[in-house]
A and B are shown apart, each in its own frame.
Chain A
Amino acid sequence: MPDQRSSNLNEPVSTDLVNKELVRAWLWWAIVWMTVFPLVGLLVSIKFHYPDFLGETSWLTFGRLRPVHVNGVIFGAFSTTVLGLTYYLVPRLCGRRMAKEEWGWLFLWGWNIFLVSGSISLLMGYNLGFEADEFQWPFNILRGAILAGVGAQVLTTIFRREEKGFYVALWYMLAALVWTVMNLLLGNVILPYVPMSGISNTALHGLYIHYVVGLWITPAGLALMYYFLPLAVKAPLFSHRLSLLGFWSLAFFYPFVGTHHYLFSPIPYHNQTISIVTSMMLIIPVWAVITNLFGTAKGRWAAIIGNNDADSYAAKFLLLATFFYLIGCFQGSTEALRRVQELTHFTDFVISHSHFTVFATFVLAAVGSLYYVWPRVTGRQLWSAKLASWHVWLTIAGTTIMLVGLAAQGFIQGSMLEYGANFVDSVVEMKPWWVTRTLAGATMDIGFVLMTINLVMTVRAGKPFEGAADISPLAASTAQVKRAWISRPSGVFIVAGIAFFFLAVVIQGILPSILPQTYDPTVVSASTGQLIRVADYTPEERKGRQIYIREGCWYCHSQFVRPVTGENLRWGPVAQAGEYVYDQPQMLSTRRIGPDLSRVGRKYGDDWQAAHHWDPREVVPDSIMPRFPWLFETAKGDAAPQYNEDGKALVAYLQKLGSSLDDWRETFVSTRLTNGISLQANQLDRTQDILPRGKQVYLRRCVGCHGEKGDGNGPSARFLNPKPRDFTSGVFKFRSTAGGADSLPSDEDLFVTVTHGLWGTAMPPWYSIPAQERLAVIQYIKTFSPVWKNSTPAAAIDIPEEPPVTLASIARGKAQFEGVCAACHGMTGQGDGVPPGTFSDNWGHPVNPANFTLPAGAPGGVKLGHDGRHIFKTIMTGVGGTPMPALAGVFTPQQTWDIVHYVQSLRVDAHMTALKLAGVSDPAEEARFCTSTVPWLKSACDSFVLPIVNFCSVGGPQSARVSGARFQMTEARAKLWAALSEAADRQQIDAQVLQLDQPQLAFIQTAATTNKVKLP
């Protein structure tokens, strides 16, 4: 790569402070990576609006390319330039050649081997599972060793320097290398390998990821800006005192801020607050730097704008970077505020911020520095001012459009979601913006290509450059310059580089990790308030988790329901710390291009997942998710492709998600069947005007399974069992209308089914689309069958008020059940009264009697839950299209309610059994912290550590924790009944029904308002 002709220009190299040949070689590679890795980002961005683009090869999916782009820009485009320029600025500022200068060649080739092999490994799916920390250990060792080596060279050179002044650029460069080597230990060793899982892992990762930006990219970039801007504008630095303020406030505040990546998570509340405050405090160093650098350029603007040499283009880029630094960092500080983050987190606003800071600020700073140095290390003047000018303007245009657009997108999507829009609808809204983002990115990349052409041509055809004369090292001097410790290398190294870093890691990373709630595998059951144990992953689920990491699912899907913006109504219960104790790496994630998945378990059947992984757009036409055909066996004939072992494992993992909180779907407010009642007060205008809207909804939400003709033969239907409903038959399963099992349902019935979904099938709940859309699509699906034209639904059956639930009513119901229902559903209601395959539906598809004991979403269980009125209606009207008959003529309403109570008791009993199996534990055991058997050690722990733990526990996760009082299982049973029975609303659940568990178990109580840990 180095040009032989140009390399001879500067011989003999040894007379110069700077090894120009070495710098030139580094910068050649920097130019290569500045061109390549942003282009990878362009490919990634195209996938947002053309999701099938490069989508048939696993290596080129979004989940594989994204880490290549991110790491490539950070460690390739930016860091290669920084490291190359380190060999330029450090010797010049120290007045002596770089210590062990020859190592630079070794590091150069090692660095490129790391970048190439590491990128290939990411494309192959070798991913550690931490954002910005994806490389596996061999690449991490190589990267860490090189940065440590360069750090050693820089430190040695600084401490042995001949120039007695210690310029601010060296402070930043020294600190950046020290911080980064320690951060790599944190990210590459502690995060993946030390047993600190779950929320501890999350807290540490929050620090790590921001240290990459704040303690590597920022200080290294500022080192370049502080050195090359005064040179480029040919003016002295504005203020040494501002340098001090900027550096030390950054060094003190920045190490604390990383936790703001996980606001509203179960990370202790006060740690989140510390990160917010310190994020806002970053305004101090940023404004100090801005003032200093713009102050330096003051009075020089005419020359900067008017000149056409390399130095003026260097100045333009460096000042552009300074301006973007102001914007991007203010954006970042305010983004950490809770209310701003509620709205913008997980959206493109975050992507705007990261591009503002990493690309628009520091990559452009590196570009500006490159323009300045290139003529000086090649001995040639810049070849074309016109190309450089195009580069500047393309960068301004592309960067501004992209970053302002992304920020606007963030507000739009965040607002849509806050006001309850369907998630996919918010994705659709983003698509035109993403096209704009791609065009803007292409504009920026064209600028880079022009720069590359210009710099190559500079070497080949540039005129000789007069300013490339050698500078000799300073002679050894014994002169002393007295300085305060804050502007001495030892002060920077020890206080800023080490002490502040460790202080922040201890407060924000280690202290949260020793709180019991971050490693205690218990959660509060979402349905009963009971403290229950969380089960570890099975081997297959754990394997599935690895597939999830390999395919980069976590780049688009979070696993972390926040207690804000109605997320608990959208996805399910708010995240609890105990859910994550087996997660290392943690998968909370920082972005939602797709919906949160922490509650996805049993929301869809395995068959829906298969159809979705095979081709997401067959199921959800608006989806932008990639296909994953490599998770399937080779398809045979027209049969639906079957998952291979990887696919099965992935689905096992997905179905596990959210199950730790107990069977919460039965009590999930968004799918309560009583939602249908609202229809009665909200009569729809059932004119033909509603049909176009209904069709639109159908084609976007339903066509994948039910087909364009409504015959249940959509493109994904071949994967599904049970098969999607054939609307052309006019037969529907669940109805409240009289007239037998084939009677037409009312709009209210269909609304309930659409809203709730059908558990254990591919029919998902649609509560997240507007009620008017649900009502409209109901009218549209009626157009598929002439039945709706020829007849009207009968009146709803009369449902008398539910009588009290008593042991007697349950016993009577049991007797009725065993006499009639057990023939199909089995004596214990587990759906085993007949062998599987005995029954089929009207279309010849096998159907089995429901198992009433299963939790929500389990295959074979009930499809609309155990709500009393629903079961009553189902008994009386049957299940349309199946062998389940209408039994209105068999049972009286009183007998039917008895059967309902019995069926509900089957589920409550099974649920209580599951709770007991989940492990009801002794609060004293759960809460104990100091457990050492060595007396003095326990005493020391109780005296010194425990108070700290207690103090830090205040204001922690909002999940309920142990209070130490005893809890009656009766209350748990009462809550389960309350979720199913309207009689509970009238306090008509007989006490005996609720006291079946006493006194067999040890009980504990949970308090829902505090996380204060009471220690023995």
Chain B
Amino acid sequence: MTKAHTDDNTHPASAEHARYSYQTAGISENEGYVPLWLWLVVVTLLIWGIYYLLAYWDAPAPPT
């Protein structure tokens, strides 16, 4: 959402403090942010996922 209008005047220069109000819904939302810790979770999971896909793409050979 690039042109959200801002109701919150305390941080007019900050995009993440932009707020959009829905006129008939009685609701508004902040542009907000994604916390750093969650980005770390995302990156960690993606790395693990790629590893797991590669490591376990094939079934392990049965014991001989």
Contact = CB atoms under 8 A, between A and B. Distances in A.
A564 to B, nearest CB: 12
Interface in B33-64: 33-35, 38, 41-42, 45-46, 48-49, 52-53, 56-59, 61-62, 64
B52 A276 contact: yes
Interface string A483-501: 1100100000000000000
Contacts of A281: 45-46, 49
A44 B16 CA distance: 50
A253 to B, nearest CB: 9
A241 interface: yes
17 contacts: A92-B24, A163-B24, A167-B22, A236-B30, A240-B31, A243-B29, A273-B56, A277-B52, A283-B41, A288-B38, A471-B26, A474-B23, A474-B24, A482-B3, A483-B1, A955-B57, A955-B58
Nearest to A471: B24
Given A92-B25, A280-B48, A165 B1 contact: yes
Contacts of A243: 29
Given A291-B38, A481-B3, A958-B59, A240 B32 contact: yes
Contact of B29 (A17, A230, A284, A471): A230
Nearest to A1012: B58
A165 B32 CA distance: 16
A810 to B, nearest CB: 33
Contacts of A236: 19, 27-30
Nearest to A563: B62
A271 to B, nearest CB: 10
A292 B34 CA distance: 9
Nearest to A166: B1
A610 B37 CA distance: 61
Contacts of B19: 236
A957 to B, nearest CB: 8
A504 interface: no
B39 to A, nearest CB: 9
Interface in A169-207: none
B37 to A, nearest CB: 9
A150 interface: no
A238 interface: yes
A295 B29 CA distance: 12
Given A236-B19, A474-B23, A483-B2, A277 B49 contact: yes
B33 to A, nearest CB: 6
Given A236-B30, A482-B3, A284 B59 contact: no
Contact of A280 (B20, B26, B49): B49
B20 A165 contact: yes
Interface residues of A, number: 56
Contact of A273 (B20, B48, B53): B53
B48 to A, nearest CB: 7
Given A92-B26, A93-B25, A481-B3, A238 B62 contact: no
Q: What 10 pairs across the A-B complex have the smallest Cβ distances? A: A239-B32, A955-B58, A237-B29, A269-B59, A236-B28, A277-B49, A92-B25, A273-B56, A93-B25, A95-B24
A163 B29 CA distance: 14
Interface string A467-483: 00001111000000111
Contact of A231 (B3, B27, B30, B58): B27
Interface string A949-964: 0000011101000000
Contact of A284 (B31, B41, B61): B41
A269 B3 CA distance: 47
Interface string A272-297: 01101110110110011001100100
Contacts of A1009: 61-62, 64
A270 interface: yes
Contacts of A249: 42
Contacts of A270: 57-58
